[in-house]
Amino acid sequence: MSERRPGFSTLAVHAGAAPDPATGARATPIYQTTSYVFEDVDQAAALFGLQAFGNIYTRITNPTTAVLESRVAALEGGTAALAYASGHAAQFGIFHTLLTPGDEFIASNKLYGGSINQFNHSFKSFGWQVRWADPDDIASFERAVTDRTRAVFVESLANPGGIVVDLEAIAAIARKAGVPLIVDNTLATPWLCRPIEHGANIVVHSLTKFMGGHGNSMGGILVDGGTFDWAASGRYPMLTEPRPEYQGIVLNETFGNFAFAIAARVLGLRDLGAAISPFNAFMILTGIETLPLRMERHCANALAVARHLKAHGKVEWVRYAGLDDDPCHAVQQKYLPKGAGAVFTFGVRGGYEAGVKLVSNVELFSHLANIGDTRSLIIHPASTTHRQLTDEQKRAAGAGPEVVRLSVGIEDVDDIIADLDRGLAQV
C-alpha cells in the first residue's frame, strides 16, 4: 500500500483516518469538546505562535474535523483543506483571504442562485465587486479582467442546468491574469471531476450535498491546490505580508504549498467563527465512505431518467450533459467521463401551471430546495426559489415558467420513472 497511491474508493474509506490510539476504535470518534489541555506552557506558546501543529479550540481545529479535511484533500488531490459550517461559509472564507476593499473577482453567470445572491449583494458590504462572465463565451472571462481582478470563480458542473464548464480554457485566462482559479465542485464531486488536475488552484464544496449525500448534515470545505504563487504579484497581502498577530510570520514563506489553507484558518476561521461541528464532520465522513458507489448509481439513474423524459410527449426539452445531443456533451466527456452528475432541468409543456401540477403530483420525489440526497428531489424554481423575479429574469437565470429541476436519487430507476410519469399524467 505504501508503494502505490491507493485508488479513489480506498481513499474515500481510509484517507486521513486511523484506529483511535487511546481506545482502538476503528470509526473516527466524535471529539465533542470545545478545547484541549496543553502539555505545558511551552507547547501552548508554540501552538498560539504557529510554531507547532495541534489543537487549541474547536472553532479552529478539531480531531474529527481534521480527518474530514485530510480525506477531502486527498480525494481532490490538494495539499490541505479547511472545513466550515456550510458551503456558503467556505466560499466566504476563500474570498475573505483573497480580497481587500475595492478588489474584484470574475464569476461565471451559470451558478447556484445562492452564490449569485452572495456575490451580488452580501459581498458588497465588504467592498468586493463581482464581474460576470459567460462560460458559453470563454472570451468574456478575459474581457472582464481589470487591474483589480483577484480571482476567477466557476462551477465545474453548474447548478441548476448541469452545464459543464471548460475548466482548462478558463484556467489559462486566470493564469494569464496572474490570479487563482476557484472551482465549486459540489455537483460533480471529485469522483466525477478533479479540477486541480485541469488548472484550478482552489476547490470548494458544499459538503451538505453529494459528499455527505444523505440530507442530514450541513458542511462546506475549501481545498488548497498548492499550485499558485502567492508572492508573484503582491496582490495577496494576507499571505505575503508579515502578520503582526503571529510575531511577523509571512504565511506564504512559512507554509509553502499549503499556505492558503493555513491563512484561511488562522486569519479567517479563527475570527469569523463559521466552524463545522464535530458531529456534522463525523456524519459527512461516514457519507463520503460510500461516495463512489452512490455517484455511480446517481449518474446511471439520471441518464436513464433524462432519456425517458426526452421521449415523453409532455416534455418540451431536457438539458443533461450526458445526452449525446446535449450542447455540453463533448466537454462532459472530457472533464466528467464517468458521468454527467445527477442534477438537471427539463421543460414541461404547459408552462408555469404544468410545472406546479407536476411537483404537486409526485410521491416518491420530495418537493424541497436541496440537491445531492440519496432520495430523489424535485423543485419548480419559478414558483419557489425564483418566484420574486419577472418571467424574463427567470428565463435568464435558467428558471423559466416551464422549468423543473431534478436531483435524481439512488432508488430503483423504474420507480423513479414511474413516479414522474404519474405526475406528468396529471399535467
Crossing angle of helices 351-360 and 413-424, in 10° steps, is 130
What are the two backbone dihedrals, phi and then psi, of residue 91, each rounded to the nearest 5 degrees? -60, -45
Q: Is the pLDDT of residue 88 over 80?
A: yes
Question: Residue 385 has what pLDDT?
Answer: 72
Question: Residue 309 has what pLDDT?
Answer: 98
- The residue among 367 and 384 whose pLDDT is bigger is 367
Q: Where in the chain is the domain with CATH 3.90.1150.10?
A: 291-424
CATH topology of domain 14-287: Aspartate Aminotransferase; domain 2 (3.40.640)
Q: Which CATH superfamily is domain 291-424 in?
A: Aspartate Aminotransferase, domain 1 (3.90.1150.10)
Mean pLDDT score of the chain = 95
Tens digits of residue pLDDT in 18-67: 999 989 999 999 999 999 999 999 999 999 999 999 999 999 999 999 99
Is the C-alpha dihedral spanning 170, 175, 181, 187 positive or negative?
Answer: positive
Question: Residue 395 has what pLDDT?
Answer: 73
Q: Lowest-pLDDT range, 114-118, 398-402, 411-415?
A: 398-402
- Rg of the chain (C-alpha set): 22
396 falls in which pLDDT band (50, 70, 90)?
Answer: low
> How many beta carbons lie within 10 A of that of residue 337, not counting itself?
10
Mean pLDDT for the stretch of residues 108-126: 91
d(CA 217, CA 203): 20
- The residue among 401 and 413 whose pLDDT is bigger is 413
DSSP states of 338-376: T---SEEEEEETTHHHHHHHHHHS-SSSEESS----SS-
Q: Is the pLDDT of residue 411 over 80?
A: yes
Q: Are the C-beta atoms of residues 109 and 132 closer than 8 Å to each other?
A: yes
Write the secondary structure of 218-260 as one string of H (helix), E (strand) and C (coil): CCEEEEECCCCCCCCCCCCHHHHCCEHHHCCECHHHHHHHHHH
Q: Where in the chain is the domain with CATH 3.40.640.10?
A: 14-287
Q: Is the pLDDT of residue 316 over 80?
A: yes
Closest CA to 86 of 218, 281, 268: 218
Q: Is the pLDDT of residue 283 over 80?
A: yes
d(CA 240, CA 236): 6
Instruction: Give residue 372's region: left, alpha or beta (phi > 0; psi -120 to 50).
Output: left
Mean pLDDT for the stretch of residues 131-156: 97
Mean pLDDT for the stretch of residues 73-82: 98
* pTM for this model (two decimals): 0.95
Q: Is the pLDDT of residue 397 over 70?
A: no
